[in-house]
Structure 1
Amino acid sequence: MTTSSNAQTTAKRYFDLHTCGIGYLNRIREVRPKKGEPFLACSINAFTGPVTEPAYRYFDVRVSGAKAQDLVRSCKADVDAGRPVLIEFRIGDLWVSPYIATQGRNEGLPVAALKARLLAASLVGQSVLAGIEHYNLTTYGIGYLNRIRSLSSNEGDSLLTCTIASLNGPIDEPEYKYFNSTVLGDDVQGLVRSCSEAVNAKQSVLVSFRMSDMQATPYLRTKGDRVGELDASISSNLVHIGMIKIDGESIYPAKPLLEEATGEPIASQSTADDAHSDTPVLAESV
């Protein structure tokens, strides 16, 4: 009885923000900070878009999952030798870091890096690649809907955009990760528009979502106490909404997307030490 009570006390529940995709493994290294414990890090050049003409999104990640650490270390010799190593990956705790480039073609210019924890990874063989026509870089999560706007593109088309404040981390003290999203698809646009009145009235509009692609954009703040400070935003495409709650009332009931994919709720329970680290990457994510 005591053991059970202690386990319930020490267990924590989390809001997950996970991104899945395929990409090349690079820059495997042991980082030894001046403060804190050493850790394994690497970068991932992720694909997004059609196989014939993909775009690349670069992630600098800390390798957290135990099995992911074993795999990354086993690939170091190949990566150091310049041999391509392709992995399927799942990352979490995404954040963006703006800085001024000190070398390369962007020297002296503001740039932004996407950073995260690598939770799980597996090697991708040529047989898997042969069956892919489009590379998906997909993000799943739950968060609050804000700033719904209709805009006109340079081509004169109408665009529906919104901001999602995604919840990430412990349920009792989550962080917010902000995505400036273009809403794609008639069904998703209809759901977002149906929330406009509630958002404008400052009501709480909670949604589970799936986003495709993402990229970081640096900028200088032009107002507020931090005017002139370098910052960065993350843009994405909102392609699915699985649940809507307005002020706690279910408006559009459905299983959250991550629960549909894994059978576990987005706010999953785990110990603080091994939070989600060894869950296999989903085949459906690519």
Structure 2
Amino acid sequence: MLPSYLEDTNLSSIKLVATDMDLTLLADDKSMPEGIDERIDALAERGIVFCAASGRPGLALRESFPDHHADMAIVADNGASVYLRDELVYRDLIERELWREVLAVAVKTPRCVPVLCAFDDAYVLERDRGHEDVVGIYYRSITYVDSFEGLDVDSNKISIYFPAWDSKKNLDEVFAPAFGTRLYLTCAGDEWLDFMNIGIDKGSGIRHLVEHLGIDLADVAAFGDTYNDIPMLGIVGHSYVMGNAAEHMHAHGKFLAPTNNEAGVLTVIDRIVEAAK
């Protein structure tokens, strides 16, 4: 059993707090925990940077923090773009021929909704417009196209939504065999599969951010609940797995935080703030 967050007592040196969004900071109904703005302010007053680290694109993350995006950090698109106080400090691009190849396979895969991510914009097939209620949660600017073949855009990530919530099965049986040696593939929950360049993940995004800030990874606290959080949890000094996470995630963190529905991230932030006084 993973030790409780209460056993992490060396909190006074923390300079960056990074949290995943879905099923980590956000409740099951995707609502933001009450009091998050006050916690971000309290961290900033003590010289601690708050960071949202997510598979979501930068625009959606900025909109999630309307009062604070200019004062915080964002690791978006699973590390393919990194922002500090609204300044883009790092970005990564997938070669056009490679993302076209992935999308060609995805289009032919049953029960599969491919999304080409181009930073603040997303491209989705017209045939999949019926899934806008889900895709629109994460992508605010969606362009519907009849085919991906004619597109010529910069893309930093490919996401695939699986309405049957079988992303891991499709990863193992379809996409990892075809692309696992050329791209980094990770499940973002049971319903999403994300593709980035090899070496691009939330961990690499945090590395770029701490280098820009001039701080040590040992002085970072990170929170996560699923596969795409593992690279981030594995490199920081204070890693918290959420109480609602699957048990296999316990191997990838140092401490167990309360669940997302209990505002577990805020509970730990309160301890970090108190230690920094």
Common fold by TM > 0.5: no
TM-score range, shorter chain: under 0.3
TM-score normalised according to structure 1 size? 0.26
TM-score, length-scaled by structure 2: 0.26
Structure number with greater Rg is 1
More strand by share: 1
Larger helix fraction of residues: 2
